[in-house]
Structure formats: structure tokens, C-alpha cells
């Protein structure tokens, strides 16, 4: 782990939190409910929570049999430990993810809507029933098989938010292939790295994508990446816009030509509970992204259980998660949770600002959405745009979820009052790519909430607040520290692809016997959790998780850059923003173009969403005598806290600090 890794958490102290209001589940939610929430109030939660912690095998064994369909039952609910990093769930059990998401609902009710596709343009969407989904998934599964994909192989997906993305997830899992989704905002370099790391031989993409009225050249980016992926034998292309795209015969295949060759049913592959279901790359405190690996039984149970209890999903619901399938939120709550529970999921291709700031609410109204789930960054944008854009009744809404970053109390209240009309329950869900599903969260229709707090642990999660200095757990309430978990849970990541040692070191060895989240947190006088943000070198920009080290590595790739230091600073709209400091190699002059080139370098190397908001070209960076860059000093300067830099005499050249202050001031 890198320098400054375990910084004491910042943010409001717990004492302030005492003053906040507690919101009870609105009575109107019960009035509009199709039946009633799955649990009868907080005591019922407490009773089940107690069982989940004291008798986890009994609790999870029961839920796994209730929520999933097993082709062969399991005998061992859990084995392994956090200490050894060998956790396994539902051993001996066999099941298939696509069977659980599709077949069992298609058999019962083939005409029930499964996917409500809301295209970028308002009237171009369509609805896909469970029966149709089964046929589409089967045909694609056949296609992948014919391309040589076998059980255990990884398949790269580089797709926009269209139904074919969901179909691709499920087609992979149907034949036992491991999907590795790469967010379609990543650059060709990032895509290449992920294809190579996972050794994917087949990739699925589109000719182009459409988002917010703009066209995205997905196939072009794939072509660029594949120049350096000699092992990719097949590229399957779904025609989204019909534009002319470059074509490599023998490697590129049109989706529509291929799928029509195959029958509309293929039997699902029998998988062991612990077989990998997917890889998803995420940023950590070092430069190289990690391929977080989730397995079948445990992950699916986490998705289904949180879908049921956190979102209070019932049979007739229509679920809308605004997250992209390229991130974990889309994996678990666009695809798996709603489909496992057999309800309709909205796949929204556009943005909240196109054609105007009413778009989300138009979608919610049009499809009578019952649960809506989004990141605070979108809410901040919409709140700022003005309440007049929220002119919709949205009377079916029961649960409004928030995810990805802390939600400020004013934004929380806006969501509750203006979007939910005080009739829907707000759930601020805390979790991570690595946790697979929600870990600290209110339960919809059940848990009283406090704006800004993710509230209480989900079933089976035993949080611990640890003192980052002593490494000891801090017991009792009204405490602050870093957040860890004491017990394994079914949907936790099992490893980092090809790097189990890194998995152990990042999550399980920091505090022995605990899973370390990387976040600071407080536990208030009522046992409610307040997430303070990352204590490592991870920056959260608009809910996108970025590693400062990864951005630094991108900057250093530019031939004129000698050294780079990247820090996250608070930003009103995006939560945090990336600011970069670079020093140039000898002989390189700073020109008007330099900063633009460096920003372009990051866009090219990672993707547009990682581009620094500001670049400061400086003569040297503040370093310790052993050469470690003191990012803390840069953060303080940007925050205008030059008077609180602390002791700078230990720097190898203390005079650089004044020069940096001057550069920052001049550029403002």
C-alpha cells in the first residue's frame, strides 16, 4: 500500500450527527403498496439480523433455497475464513445463473416483461418478455459456443446500455463463460489491458453507441484495442446505428447474421456454486486495475436477497437502476437482482439531461416505475437544474435508492420531497465492487433513516470500526475509524484474477481476520453508520471510482512528463474532482498546449471520465528525502489551507512548496 494510505478519516464528527432528523417509513408507502413490505418493521429486521450473524449457515442456507433454484442442492453452506481468504459458499450445489434469471420465469409467465428498453431517443425503445429473453439468450449462447467459447473462458463485453448487453451477460453465464464487462467509456488502451489481463478470446460490441444525442464509436475503439490483442479470434458486433464501420473479415461478425443460424433454446450449463460468474475491473490504490472475481451461487444470492429486502421488490414491480452495466451497480441492479426476482428491469440508454432535465422522471412516469436507483452526482445535477423539471406525479414510486458516494443531507431531502413527494422511502446503499451487493443499507419499507447515513448492516454483515493507528477494533457506539467486516458473506469477491496475493494484501491482510473496505466510517449513538469516504488513494468522481496512481501512470506515459502527482479535491457537482501536478523533463517548455495535451493523454489512456479538471505544471513536486511524493501537501494547497501544511522541513527541497503555491494561485 502506498504512502498516506491510512489517513484519519475526515468529515463531520459523530457528535454533529446527533442533531439530524430521523425519517420513518412514509405512511403513504404502505397505502400504495401492492401488498406489504417483506418484513414487519425494524424489530423483524433485528431478529433476522441476529440470526444471520449468530447462525449464518442456517440463515443463508434457508435464503439460498428460497431465492435460487438449484439443479443440485448443497450440503455445506460455508467453508473457509477471512483470515485464509478461501471462503466458499453452497459447496456441492449446482445451478446456472441464466436459468435463475430467465428460464424459471419464462416457464411460469413467458409474456411478462423482463426488459423495458428506454432508448436514447424517446420513442425508439421496446419491451422484451421473459419468453423472448430466453430465446435471445439461447441464440447468442449458441453463437458464442460456435465461436469456440467453452466453460471457464472469459468473454469481453464492450457495450452501451442496450438490451443486448443484458442478453450478452446471460448468454455467457448460460454456457458457463465468465463475462468481463468493460465500461464503454474506457479508452482503447484500457480496453486492451483488460482483454489481455483476462485473456479474452471473444469480444462483443456494437457498431456505435448513442448517448445523450451523441454518437460513440465503440467499434472503432475496439478495433484500436484489438491491434494489440493477438489472442482475440472473434469480435461480434451488434448493429445499433447502422453506420459504416471498418471490418476485419474472419474476425468480425454481425450479431444479427450469427444468431439467426441457431435454435431458440440451448440447455443451461450445470455450474458449481463456486464457479466464476464474472470479472469486473476496478481501481485500487496502485496503478494496475484489479479483475475482481465473483462466483455463481454466493453472488446471485447477494443480488436476490438485497433486491428483495433493500428494494422491497414484489412480483408486479418495475425496477429502474440508472447505473451503467459497465460498473458493479449495473451488474447487480440492472441485470441480476431484478431478473432473479422475475420483475421488469429498465435499461436506459441515455443521460438524465437529454433531451432535457426531465428525462429520468419521464421514464419513471411512462413505465410506472416502482423503484428508482441512482448516484448522488445525478441528483446534484438535477437539483441544480431546478424543481420545475420534476413535474411528474410518479405515484408508483415506493423506494428511491442512492449509491456510489455519500449523499449530502440537502440532496437527500430534495430526493425525498421533490422526487418522492414524501411518499417513497430513501435507501442510501453502501457497497463496493468487491462486496457484490449492498452491505450497509436501510431496508425499503422497514428501516428508519437519517439523511447522510447508510444506516444499518445488511444480513450477515458484521461491521467493525477499526482505529487506523493501532489497528485495534473500537467497540461501542459514538466512534470513528476505518470500516471493516468481521464475517464472510456470500457475495464477497473471492479473488483478484490471477493475483490472489494482491487480493489478500488489499482486503484481508490489512487487519487480520477482517475484510477491509478502504473507507473511513463513524458509528453514531444509535449504531447507525456514516461513510466518510476512501482512506486510500482512490478518488470518487461522479460515482466513478478512480485510482490516483492509475492517472499518474497515464500522465507519465507522455514523453515530456518527468513526474506526476494526482489528488482528489472536493467538487460541488462531481463530489470529487481530479487535479494533477506534473513536472516536465529537462528542456521541455510549458506552452498553452501543454495542459491540453496532458488532459488528452489521460482521456486516451483511461477514458474521458478520468480527465483531470485542472493540471498544474510545476518545476518540482514536494518529496520526502526518500523520494516519496507528499500528496497531502498538494491537497492542502488546493484546499487553500497553506497555513496548515505542517512540518515541511523534512522535504528534500522545502522551497518547492512556495513555488507550487504560486503556480496554483496564478492559475486561478
- In the complex, minimum distance from the CB of residue 537 to ligand 6R9, in angstroms, rounded to a whole number: 12
| DSSP letter, residue 365 | H
357 versus 529: smaller Cβ distance to ligand 6R9: 529
**Residue 294 beta carbon to ligand 6R9: minimum distance, rounded to whole angstroms:** 12
* CB 37, min distance to ligand 6R9, A: 21
What's the CA gap between 390 and 368, in Å, rounded? 15
Cβ within 8 Å of residue 577, ≥6 positions away: 541, 568, 569, 570, 571, 613, 614
Binding site for ligand 6R9 (CB under 6 A): 282, 327-329, 403-406, 428-433, 454, 517-519, 531, 533-534, 540, 545
The DSSP code for 457 is B
* CA angle, 529 then 531 then 535, to 5°: 135
Shortest distance (Å) from residue 380 CB to ligand 6R9: 14
Distance, C-alpha 224 to centroid of its chain: 26
Q: Phi and psi dihedrals of 357, rounded to 5?
A: -75, 5
Closer by beta carbon to ligand 6R9, 173 or else 285? 285
Q: Which long-range contacts (CB under 8 A, 24 or more apart) does 120-123 make?
A: 120/210, 120/211, 120/212, 120/213, 120/349, 120/350, 120/354, 121/210, 122/355, 122/362
Q: Determine if residue 176 is left, alpha or beta; phi over 0 gives left, psi from -120 to 50 gives alpha, anything else beta.
A: left
**Cβ of residue 435: shortest distance to ligand 6R9, in angstroms?**
8
Closest distance of CB 545 from ligand 6R9, Å: 4
Contacts of 224 (CB under 8 A, 6+ apart): 188
Q: Compare residues 482 and 598 and give the one whose CB is closer to ligand 6R9.
A: 482
Nearer Cβ to ligand 6R9 (74/412): 412
Site of grid cell 482512506: 535
Q: Which is nearer to ligand 6R9, 143 or 429 (CB)?
A: 429
Grid coordinates of 108: 411460469
Query: By C-beta, is 268 or 444 nearer to ligand 6R9?
Result: 444
Judged by beta carbon, residue 349 or residue 405, the one nearer ligand 6R9 is 405
Q: Whose Cβ is closer to ligand 6R9: residue 99's or residue 431's?
A: 431
**Under 8 Å CB-to-CB from 323, ≥6 apart: which residues?**
329, 330, 333, 334, 373, 374, 375, 403, 404
Minimum distance of ligand 6R9 from residue 196's CB (angstroms): 22
Shortest reach from residue 332's CB to ligand 6R9, in Å: 8
Q: Which of 205, 432 has the CB closer to ligand 6R9?
A: 432
Minimum separation from the CB atom of position 434 to ligand 6R9 (A):
7
Residue showing the smallest CB distance to ligand 6R9 in the complex: 433
Q: In whole angstroms, how close is the CB of 387 to ligand 6R9 at the nearest point?
A: 24
What residue has cell string 416457464? 107
Q: Does residue 386 come out as left (phi exceeding 0), alpha (psi in the -120 to 50 range) or beta? A: left
Task: Please tell me the chain's helix, strand, coil percentages from 3-state DSSP, rounded to the nearest 5.
Answer: 35, 25, 45
Nearer to ligand 6R9, 183 or 616 (CB): 183
Helix or strand run (H / E) with residue 28: helix 27-32
**Which residue number, 338 or 404, has a Cβ lying nearer to ligand 6R9?**
404
Shortest spacing between CB 458 and ligand 6R9, in angstroms: 12
What is the distance of C-alpha 240 from the center of its chain?
25
Closer residue to ligand 6R9, CB minimum distance, 129 or 540:
540
Judge residue 470's burial from the number of C-beta atoms within 10 Å of its C-beta, 0-12 exposed, 13-18 middle, 19 or more buried: exposed
Shortest spacing between CB 497 and ligand 6R9, in angstroms: 16
Residues 6+ apart with CB under 8 A from 608: 185, 187
For residue 46, CA distances in Å to 41, 430, 431, 458, 489 come to 9, 19, 20, 10, 18
> 572 — alpha (psi -120 to 50), left (phi > 0) or beta?
alpha
**Which of residues 428 and 563 has its CB atom nearest to ligand 6R9 in the complex?**
428
Min dist. Cβ of residue 375 to ligand 6R9 (A): 8
Q: Residue 549: what are its φ and ψ, rounded to 5°?
A: -65, -35
Cα separation of 504 and 510, whole Å?
8
What is the four-CA torsion angle of 479, 480, 483, 489, rounded to 10 degrees? 20
Amino acid at each position: 500500500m502506498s504512502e498516506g494510505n491510512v489517513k484519519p478519516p475526515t468529515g463531520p464528527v459523530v457528535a454533529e450527527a446527533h442533531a439530524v432528523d430521523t425519517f420513518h417509513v412514509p405512511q403513504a408507502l404502505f397505502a400504495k403498496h401492492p401488498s406489504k413490505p417483506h418484513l414487519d418493521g425494524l424489530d423483524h429486521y433485528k431478529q433476522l439480523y441476529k440470526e444471520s450473524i449468530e447462525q449464518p449457515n442456517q440463515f443463508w442456507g434457508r435464503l439460498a433455497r428460497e431465492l435460487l433454484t438449484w439443479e443440485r442442492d448443497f450440503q455445506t453452506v460455508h467453508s473457509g475464513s477471512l483470515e485464509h481468504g478461501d471462503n466458499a459458499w453452497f459447496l456441492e450445489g449446482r445451478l446456472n445463473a441464466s436459468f435463475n434469471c430467465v428460464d424459471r420465469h419464462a416457464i411460469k409467465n413467458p409474456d411478462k416483461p423482463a426488459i423495458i428498453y428506454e432508448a436514447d431517443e424517446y420513442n425508439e425503445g421496446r419491451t422484451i418478455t421473459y419468453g423472448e429473453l430466453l430465446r435471445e439468450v439461447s441464440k447468442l449462447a449458441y453463437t458464442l459456443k460456435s465461436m469456440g467459447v467453452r466453460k471457464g473462458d472469459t468473454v469481453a463485453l464492450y457495450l452501451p446500455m442496450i438490451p443486448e448487453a443484458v442478453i450478452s451477460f446471460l448468454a455467457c453465464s448460460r454456457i458457463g463463460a465468465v463475462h468481463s464487462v468493460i465500461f464503454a467509456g474506457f479508452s482503447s488502451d484500457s480496453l486492451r489491458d483488460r482483454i489481455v489481463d483476462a485473456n479474452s478470446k471473444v469480444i462483443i460490441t456494437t457498431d456505435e453507441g448513442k448517448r445523450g444525442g451523441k454518437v460513440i464509436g465503440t467499434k472503432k475503439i475496439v478495433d484500436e484495442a484489438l491491434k494489440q490483442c493477438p489472442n482475440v479470434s472473434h469480435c461480434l458486433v451488434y448493429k445499433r446505428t447502422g453506420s459504416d464501420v471498418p471490418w476485419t473479415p474472419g474476425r468480425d461478425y454481425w450479431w444479427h447474421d450469427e444468431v439467426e443460424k441457431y435454435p431458440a433454446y440451448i440447455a443451461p450449463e450445470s455450474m458449481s456454486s463456486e464457479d466464476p460468474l464474472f470479472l469486473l475491473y476496478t481501481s485500487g490504490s496502485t496503478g494496475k486495475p484489479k479483475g475482481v472475481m465473483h462466483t455463481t451461487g454466493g453472488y446471485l444470492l447477494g443480488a436476490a436477497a438485497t433486491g428483495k429486502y433493500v428494494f422491497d421488490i414484489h412480483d408486479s414491480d418495475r425496477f429502474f437502476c440508472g447505473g451503467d452495466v459497465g460498473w458493479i451497480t449495473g451488474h447487480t441492479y440492472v441485470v441480476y437482482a431484478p431478473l432473479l426476482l422475475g420483475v421488469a428491469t429498465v435499461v436506459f440508454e441515455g443521460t438524465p439531461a437529454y433531451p432535457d432535465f426531465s428525462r429520468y422522471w419521464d421514464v419513471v412516469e411512462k413505465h410506472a416505475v416502482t423503484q428508482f436507483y441512482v448516484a448522488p452526482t445525478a441528483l446534484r445535477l438535477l437539483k441544480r437544474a431546478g424543481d420545475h423539471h420534476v413535474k411528474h406525479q410518479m405515484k408508483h414510486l415506493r423506494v428511491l435508492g442512492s449509491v456510489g458516494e455519500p449523499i449530502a443531507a440537502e440532496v437527500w431531502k430534495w430526493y425525498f420531497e421533490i422526487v418522492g413527494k414524501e411518499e417513497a422511502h430513501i435507501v442510501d446503499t453502501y457497497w463496493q465492487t468487491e462486496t457484490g451487493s449492498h452491505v450497509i443499507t436501510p431496508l425499503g419499507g422497514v428501516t428508519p433513516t437519517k439523511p447522510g447515513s447508510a444506516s444499518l448492516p445488511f444480513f450477515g454483515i458484521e461491521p467493525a470500526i477499526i482505529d487506523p493507528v493501532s489497528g485495534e477494533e473500537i467497540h461501542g457506539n459514538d466512534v470513528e475509524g476505518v470500516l471493516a467486516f468481521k464475517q464472510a458473506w456470500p457475495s464477497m469477491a473471492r479473488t483478484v484474477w490471477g493475483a490472489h496475493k494482491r487480493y489478500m494484501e488489499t482486503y484481508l491482510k490489512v487487519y487480520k481476520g477482517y475484510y477491509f473496505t478502504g473507507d473511513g466510517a463513524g458509528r453514531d449513538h444509535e449504531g447507525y453508520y456514516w461513510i466518510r469516504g476512501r482512506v486510500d488513494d482512490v478518488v470518487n468522481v461522479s460515482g466513478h471510482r478512480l485510482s490516483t496512481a492509475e492517472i499518474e501512470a497515464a500522465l507519465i506515459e507522455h514523453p515530456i512528463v518527468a513526474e506526476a502527482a494526482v489528488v482528489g479535491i472536493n467538487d460541488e457537482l462531481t463530489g470529487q474532482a481530479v487535479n494533477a501536478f506534473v513536472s516536465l523533463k529537462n528542456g521541455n517548455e510549458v506552452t498553452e498546449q501543454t495542459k491540453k495535451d496532458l488532459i488528452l493523454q489521460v482521456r486516451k489512456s483511461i477514458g474521458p471520465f478520468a480527465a483531470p479538471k485542472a493540471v498544474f505544471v510545476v518545476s518540482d513536486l514536494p518529496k520526502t528525502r526518500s523520494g516519496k511524493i507528499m500528496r497531502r501537501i498538494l491537497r492542502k494547497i488546493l484546499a487553500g489551507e497553506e497555513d496548515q501544511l505542517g512540518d515541511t522541513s523534512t522535504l528534500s527541497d522545502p522551497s518547492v512548496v512556495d513555488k507550487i503555491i504560486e503556480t496554483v494561485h496564478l492559475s486561478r
